[in-house]
């Protein structure tokens, strides 16, 4: 509980609710039917509750817990409209930072040529990984570290449940001295959710990372386990990734100063032919946590357009 006064929040809110049958932005969807509270209002209530506790615990009546919101071209104006129409749901404008994610040029073929439509470069979204670059560009982790803040919770636009476990998550991060902590859930073998694994390299290095479910079982086929199978609990030994992360702010600021927040990219096109030589339509280059392990083991460059990303533990020598 004592870590709440040192906690910052970042909401990834670049998506629309079309897939969920909602015409607006996802954070405007009703999260709870009896009260009609939206996801954005619910998140604000949680943050304000944590803030009230932190003010009482520290004796600082002016303490504010900062919230950064990553928007996109589809959601930026509507997010501002929602916040302003509701007086930021009780949050002060000074504690909220809006970070707009820009579109990137789309690729038209396996040569990674830029797609052009009606004389203009065709652009598409770039994925959640941009949040790191945007945080760095706005100078937030460095600013928060100077203010004595220690933890950053990165959360998704339609999942309020991690707030209920935040204090436990912070406690584990503190007691274990984690630079980064992934919040996970029980996962059934073969379930279409990425699994959190500890991968060990031939040199003895290890890396705790999310492995996508369609890569996890093939990877485990060559191990004594024989695949992604249940343990005594009935669940997979590899818990499910829900894209909720906790970072140590100081460590994150140091790494961002080195990397600029640039993360590996990959493309996942829909192919027009069996030979996989042509795209059905221009595709985007994603920045997110995905790993094509078979190609990663070949030590392909991290930003290779056709083979996902190289394994970070295999790139240590070249990046050192």
Q: Which of 22-26, 112-116, 134-138, 308-312 has the lowest mean pLDDT?
A: 308-312
Task: Give the model's pLDDT for residue 318.
Answer: 34
Enumerate domains of the chain plus CATH numbers. 2-107+124-186+241-267 (3.90.550.10)
Task: Give the model's pLDDT for residue 319.
Answer: 34
Task: Give the model's pLDDT for residue 219.
Answer: 84
Task: Give the model's pLDDT for residue 309.
Answer: 33
- Mean pLDDT calculated for residue range 125-149: 89
Q: For 65-120, how does the pLDDT look when each residue is reduced to its tens digit (9 = 90+)?
A: 999 999 988 889 999 999 999 999 999 999 999 999 887 788 877 777 888 888 88
Residue with the bigger pLDDT between 100 and 294: it is 100
Q: Which structure tokens are listed for 101?
A: 């994610």
Q: Which structure tokens are listed for 260?
A: 């600029």
**63 by DSSP, 3-state: which?**
coil
Q: For 232-289, how does the pLDDT look when each residue is reduced to its tens digit (9 = 90+)?
A: 999 999 999 988 999 999 999 999 998 887 766 666 667 777 777 777 776 655 554 4
- Mean pLDDT calculated for residue range 55-69: 96
DSSP state of 120: E
Task: Please count the helices (runs of H) and the strands (runs of E) in the chain.
Answer: 9, 18
* CB contact at 8 A, 107 and 285: yes
Exposure letters 16-31 (e unless 16+ CB within 10 A, then b): bbeeeeeeebbbbbeb
The whole-model pTM stands at 0.81
């Amino acid at each position: 509980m004592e870590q709440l006064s040192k906690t910052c929040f970042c909401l990834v809110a670049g998506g629309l609710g079309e897939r969920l049958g909602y015409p607006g932005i996802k954070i405007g969807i009703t999260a709870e039917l009896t009260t009609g509270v939206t996801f954005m209002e619910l998140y604000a209530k949680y943050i304000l509750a944590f803030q009230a506790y932190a003010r009482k615990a520290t004796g600082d009546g002016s303490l504010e817990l900062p919230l950064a919101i990553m928007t996109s071209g589809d959601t930026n104006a509507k997010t501002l409209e929602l916040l302003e129409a509701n007086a930021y749901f009780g949050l002060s404008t000074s504690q909220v930072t809006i970070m707009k994610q820009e579109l990137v040029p789309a690729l038209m073929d396996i040569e990674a040529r830029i797609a052009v439509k009606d004389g203009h470069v065709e652009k598409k979204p770039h994925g959640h990984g941009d949040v790191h670059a945007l945080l760095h560009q706005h100078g937030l982790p460095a600013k928060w570290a100077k203010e004595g803040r220690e933890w950053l919770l990165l959360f998704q636009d339609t999942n309020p449940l991690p707030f209920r476990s935040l204090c436990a998550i912070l406690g584990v991060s503190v007691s274990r001295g984690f630079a980064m902590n992934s919040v996970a859930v029980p996962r059934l073998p073969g379930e279409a959710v990425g699994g959190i694994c500890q991968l060990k390299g031939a040199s003895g290095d290890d890396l705790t990372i999310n492995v996508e479910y369609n890569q996890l079982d093939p990877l485990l086929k060559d191990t004594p386990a024989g695949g992604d199978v249940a343990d005594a609990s009935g669940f997979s030994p590899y818990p499910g990734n829900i894209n909720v992360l906790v970072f140590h702010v100081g460590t994150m600021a140091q790494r961002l100063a080195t990397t600029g927040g640039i993360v590996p990219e990959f493309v996942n096109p829909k192919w027009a032919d069996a030979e996989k030589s042509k795209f059905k339509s221009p595709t985007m280059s994603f920045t997110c946590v995905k790993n094509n392990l078979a190609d990663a083991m070949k030590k392909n460059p991290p930003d290779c357009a056709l083979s996902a990303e190289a394994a970070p533990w295999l790139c240590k020598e070249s990046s050192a």
